[in-house]
Amino acid sequence: MSAGHHRFVSTDRRVREDRRFVAGKGRFVADIDLPNTKHVALVTCPYPAARMISIDKRAALAMPGVHYVLDGRELAAATLPLMTGLDTPNVPRRPLAVDTARYSGEWVAAVVADTRALAEDAAEEIDIRYEPLPFVLDAEQAIEPGAVLVHEAHGSNVLLDRTFVWGEVEKDFAASPRRLSLRVKWGRSSTVPIETFGVVASWDPWRDVLDVYASIQMPKYPEQIAMALRLPASAVRVHYDVDVGGSYGVKRGIKHSVLVAYLTRRLGFPVRLVEDRLENMRGGDAHGPERLFDVDVAFDDSGIVRSMKMRALENVGAYAGRSPFQLGKPIGAIVGPYKIKSVQYRAIAAVTNKTTQDAVRGFGQAPTNLALERMMDEVGNVLGLDPLELRRRNMIQHEEFPYTIPSGTTYDSGDYHTVVDKVVAHTSYHEIKAERDRLRAEGKLAGIGVAACLEPSGGNASFEPLLNPKNATTTWMDSCRIDVDLTAAITATMHTSSAGQGHETLVATVIGEVVGRDPDSIRVVRANSLNSLPSNSPVGSRMAIMLGGAAFHAAHKLKAKLAAIGAHDLGIPAEHAVYEQGNVYDRAAPDKRRTWEELVAIAHRNFHRLPEGFEPGLAVAHVYQVPTGGTLPTADGRVQMYPCFSFEFHLLLLSIDPDLGTPRIVRYRLGHDCGTVINPKIVRGMTMGGIAHGIGAALYEEFAYNEDGQLIAQTFMDYLLPSSHEVPAVEIIHHETPSPHTVLGQKGSGESGYLGAPAAVANAINDAIRPLGISINTLPLNVSKLGDLIAEARARKGN
Amino acid sequence: MKAAPFEYSRVANVDEACAMLASDESARVIAGGQTLVPMMAMRLARPTRLIDINRIIELSYIRSDGDAISIGATTRQCLVERDALIAANLPLLARALPFVGHAATRARGTIGGSLANADPAAELPLIAITLDAVLAYRVGGRTEEIAARDFYIGPMTTSLPSDAILTSVQLPIWLGKVGVGFYEVNARRSDFAFVAAAAQVELNDDGRCKRIAIGVGAATDFPIRLVNTEEQLKGSALDAATVKGAVIEALADVTPLSDLHASAEYRRRVAVSLATRAVADARSDALGKKLHAN
Amino acid sequence: MRIKLTVNGAENTLEVEPRTTLLDCLRDHLGLKGAHAGCEHGVCGACTVLFDGVAVRSCLMFAPQAEGTPITTIEGVTPGPGELSPLQDAFCETHGLQCGYCTPAMILVAHALLADNPNPTRDDIVEAISGNLCRCTGYAQIVEAIALAADRIRGSNRPSELRK
């Protein structure tokens, strides 16, 4: 990674946010103590489906310190259903179930008390009579005719069923000498941050303002609260200076926020709901994709993949969260880094009596990439082609960029072959193969897994108009404002909360780079939603591109303004003025100059020295449109999904104890190309964190249900996040292919570790067990499943 | 996730604790609390009184009784883990302790607490059963003793009377050419085991097995001793095939647990593998050979 | 009930319900917000504090149980306003964190480790932090931070003529 011509960008600078966190001085939502705050605990439905016959609140309300018990009917009468993306009006989603609950753990009532412990005591005293109803848990069963309906009024369990055909699929299949089919399952897992979701709301009836503090990562958050409460968004003040204790997609929190917002307006004191882990796991916005793929692929004898048919069936849970859209985003990279000419893609989202899903890192791309990369391995396998060679034959060549894939998205840039070459050159591929063979000779099962992945970045939400024709959204902007005060200090404002992505560092670095001032001297603050510019929050791997882009353009506006003031004050033509590190001088006479301090003083004090038409003071702002965004999908469903495409190539060696089924990652090497790296420490951390998360999805983590519809992995004893023991050391090999669409050539980097690791682990396991004549395409693969599978295969083979 | 309300009593001696326990049916003893507190937080346990025995000084000790080591019930797991007397005399216990929870839970967790909690997957009950430990408890002003093999009667269930307090565990010291082996399988290294196996052997001078104890934990409702296997192996050279055959036979009619994390078949099969490996390690250990890596 | 807790060297007399965990007591009664609730059932480690110098889960202890034992929180290892301990500084240097939620606990565990073992191997560090879940970093930069701090502390404790 070279800093090149940059002073600050790409240099190994500290992350400014870290100082407060290492001292325990982050400001998380649970740290916010507003005077007289009361606490919420939730009452949840114990059945996967049930009608509520009666709710008796009397005993709870009689307890000292208990202020209120809210049920679904009261809340529904006073608020509108939550916004969902699809046009499915008969599948309303509300914070508290109204009359019918549709999954075990669904919130049915909320208790408000002096302390959280008291609220929990009272929650136990609420007597609800239920009539259990039939339920359906499996998505395949849910879409069968005659299935139990989760939402009777909707008439079916299908929220979305759309088939896209891009290119001459049938013709390409007919013309291909070889085909194969496979079924791939991605088990229900998610991001599970260590901080649960929390929100504190306080209604001020004298100012008519609702103050909201939340650990939030949700686009249009203030507006969604306002709409549900039938308020103008100008009455909702979301404070973005709350540190979010991890999110990676899931912290959507609308239902929590509408609930406490209603309660504070109703009760007149601040109300706080900080989920405990059980509430979080059972009924918070905690769950992520559970997807079944059926893939048919057509290819030729040399391993060139010509066409693909993919059917993806998503079990979204009981209501439509962001989940159905997670079938849409992968359309923007539906062929991965490969030159597949035509694609048929059928996306089905089914409701079931499981917890509602929400957005997860990669927004659906990780499961799809698992299916794609398993497919590529199987193609190589039937042809006896090395998986690396197979991928090389199919990958888009560097000189073919910009490259338009069948679904209409144009990939900006890439140099996939070089990245792959760098990864295998780093330590030769032969050496790793030899190591695998040594392990096999020792009696281990050992396999090499490779997986490529693209990280679509710069999120622009094009999946919304694509999957919902009533939605014509074509912008997903972000913003930055810069003020230079009378003391000549710079303050930049960002307009969203962060969950550890280092946005303050990003903004300071980019502005410092452009205006030539030390980033450490630049303050970065967060607005609240009433004094902010438009932002869409850090989703879709977009902030380096979008917030970085906004900061860059705002900084250029500032620079231009200062140059013009300098030229005017020096009495030289604008084109003679040179701006350098905040000072302006005359190209022809470098001694003729105005310092940064002088220029700022002119702007603030000396209107008479400003160029004509200039506003006094030094304030600039930029609202940045997503590069390449701005157009609606075509009628046949082609769309420019995201602007930039980072690339990763994962290569790992894994061994399995054949008697125990215990996998161990022996080596992990990664090629990584996210264009220009703005902060190397941040990019490395994101990449490593993504890999750890991906290893969790592949081997450990699942929101498992039993046949009775109960979530049985609802604590950290059973939902297993990888610890330091389970995450191997990873060698990261960098490459930089700048994006032509972004201000510094940067692309996104928060997701690709997670997008590639599960596929690489699955491929390694399959390579390891292939000598036993078996394969497996279901994640997660826990030791028992893997051990039992190996034992059966060995029994068949007679050893 | 807050505990239901309770009264808190800190007691200074065992008999005071016993009397309090006898007088209040819904009282519970808290030692390290590393299992009880989360159960209370989830309101799966809701004692109305907690009797804190952590300050009873006479319950925290590690002592040699000549041919056995006695460990007081409230002795912290981390102290036992680091104790030289234990390392020298109870190598199997020393080997198993690092597998008990995490360092942070071993810092609070007690020996007696884990023994009395009787989690099928816990390491300490397995060691107690494997080594023929004797547990002592106070009840009604008397001290009673019970063999570990009679103490465990079901998952999370012991024969400890409801008004009794476990006071110590006594583990016999094996002398001679002794070696130990311990294995467990779990998803993450510090989780509860899906299957665990412990073995301790004493070899004759000719390298044949003089004495052997093999225990399997986490596979069944409570840890089991493979008594028949032990009998078969006495006098043998502990060669791999003989050991494996004898272990398979012993585990053929147990009813393994099945849950989210591991199937019954997995547990049965892996119990065989781990017990076989534990015996092999114990033999190598006794012979002074290098151990296999786990 | 009335209890006395010694936290970061200061003695505090507090009125708490017996069911108050040490974690909630530190946060809600003493305003020490550096200890965080992650799972409240003893798995994630985000609530870790030092109990007589040893890392323990503050969610797994009721406040009255903590009487008489010195407790150290992240606020207690921070040298002064705006100042960082060598470990805290090393976490900044390697960026051994992202969201910062598990970070105070990680640093306290590292303090306990280095007090016990000034020269830890990578495996020692991995083992020491294995009871503390971090969802952001994949642990690599945390391990590096602790190794860096150990190295710096050893260096600064070496006689000056032997320092590099």
Of all residues in chain B, the one with the smallest CA distance to C131 is B102
Residues of B with Cβ-Cβ distance to C51 under 8 angstroms:
107-108
Per the prediction, chain A carries an average pLDDT of 96
pLDDT in tens, B167-205: 999 999 999 999 999 999 999 988 889 999 999 999 999
Q: Quick one: pLDDT at residue B292?
A: 44
Q: Given C37, C97, C126, which is nearest A725 (Cβ)? A: C126
Q: Given B7, B33, B34, which is nearest C18 (Cβ)? A: B7
Average pLDDT over residues A580-590: 97
| Residue B239 contacts C, CB cutoff 8 Å | no
The alpha carbon dihedral of B197, B202, B204, B206 has a sign of positive
DSSP annotation of A112: E
Q: Given A700, A717, A787, which is nearest B266 (Cβ)? A: A787
Nearest by Cα to A688 from B120, C162, C139 = C139
Q: Given B5, B188, B261, which is nearest A725 (Cβ)? A: B188
Q: Amino acid identity, residue A273?
A: L
Residues of C with Cβ-Cβ distance to A31 under 8 angstroms:
27, 33
Tell me which of C56, C67, C111 to substitute to probe the interface with B (most B C-beta atoms closer than 10 Å): C56
Instruction: Give the E-state strand segments of A12-65 in sequence order.
Output: 38-44, 50-56
The minimum CA-CA distance between C21 and chain B, rounded to whole Å, is 8
- Cβ separation of C126 and A689 shorter than 8 Å? no
- Cα(B32)–Cα(B18) distance, rounded to whole angstroms? 18
Check whether A153 has a pLDDT greater than 80: yes
Q: Quick one: pLDDT at residue A799?
A: 57
Those residues whose C-beta lies under 8 Å from the C-beta of residue A173, and which sit 6 or more positions away, are A179, A296, A298, A306, A307, A309
- Cβ separation of C100 and A18 shorter than 8 Å? yes
| Residue A753 contacts C, CB cutoff 8 Å | yes
Do the Cβ atoms of C18 and B7 come closer than 8 Å?
yes
- Cα(A647)–Cα(A662) distance, rounded to whole angstroms? 30
pLDDT > 90: what percent of chain A? 96
Alpha-helical regions (H) of A700-751: none
Residues of A with Cβ-Cβ distance to B270 under 8 angstroms:
659-661, 787
Tell me which of C61, C65, C67 to substitute to probe the interface with B (most B C-beta atoms closer than 10 Å): C65
Provide the phi-psi class of A628: left if phi over 0, else alpha when psi is between -120 and 50, else beta.
left
Residues of A with Cβ-Cβ distance to B274 under 8 angstroms:
660
Residues of B with Cβ-Cβ distance to A725 under 8 angstroms:
188-190
Q: Given C43, C99, C139, which is nearest A692 (Cβ)? A: C139
Chains in contact with C via at least 3 Cβ–Cβ pairs below 8 Å: A, B
- Cβ separation of C41 and A692 shorter than 8 Å? no
* Concatenated DSSP letters of B233-251: HTTS---HHHHHHHHHHHH
- Cβ separation of A725 and B263 shorter than 8 Å? no
Of all residues in chain C, the one with the smallest CA distance to B101 is C131
Nearest by Cα to A440 from A428, A448, A430, A452 = A448
Span of A6-15, A469-478, B1-10 with lowest mean pLDDT: A469-478
Tell me which of A66, A276, A660, A723 to substitute to probe the interface with B (most B C-beta atoms closer than 10 Å): A660
Check whether A438 has a pLDDT greater than 50: yes
Q: Strands B27-30 and B49-52: what pairing?
A: parallel
Do the Cβ atoms of A361 and A322 come closer than 8 Å?
no
Q: Quick one: pLDDT at residue B289?
A: 55
Q: Quick one: pLDDT at residue B291?
A: 45
Q: Quick one: pLDDT at residue C161?
A: 62
- Whether the link from the prior residue into A780 is cis, omega within 30° of 0, is yes
Do the Cβ atoms of C125 and C96 come closer than 8 Å?
no
Residue of B291 and A143 predicted with greater confidence: A143
Which structure tokens are listed for B137? 């408890």
Per the prediction, chain B carries an average pLDDT of 95
Q: Quick one: pLDDT at residue A85?
A: 85
Residues of A with Cβ-Cβ distance to B189 under 8 angstroms:
723, 725-726
Instruction: Give the E-state strand segments of chain B in sequence order.
Output: 7-10, 27-30, 49-52, 62-64, 68-72, 134-139, 142-147, 152-154, 157-158, 165-172, 177-185, 195-203, 209-217, 224-225
- Cβ separation of A791 and B265 shorter than 8 Å? yes
Q: Quick one: pLDDT at residue A4?
A: 62
Q: Quick one: pLDDT at residue A2?
A: 44
Q: Quick one: pLDDT at residue A238?
A: 98
C64-93 burial, b if ≥16 CB within 10 A, otherwise e?
bbbeeebbbbbbbbbeeeeebbbbbbbbbb
Across the A/C interface, how many CB contacts are shorter than 8 Å? 180
**CA torsion, ordered A327, A328, A330, A335, to nearest 10 deg:** 110
Those residues whose C-beta lies under 8 Å from the C-beta of residue C124, and which sit 6 or more positions away, are C113, C117
pLDDT means per 10 residues, chain C with 164 residues, are: 98 98 98 98 98 98 98 97 97 98 98 96 97 98 98 82 54
- Cβ separation of C51 and B108 shorter than 8 Å? yes
- Cβ separation of B187 and A700 shorter than 8 Å? yes
Q: Quick one: pLDDT at residue A516?
A: 97
Cα of B230 vs its chain's centroid, Å: 19
In 3-state terms, what secondary structure has residue A633? coil
Q: Quick one: pLDDT at residue B290?
A: 47
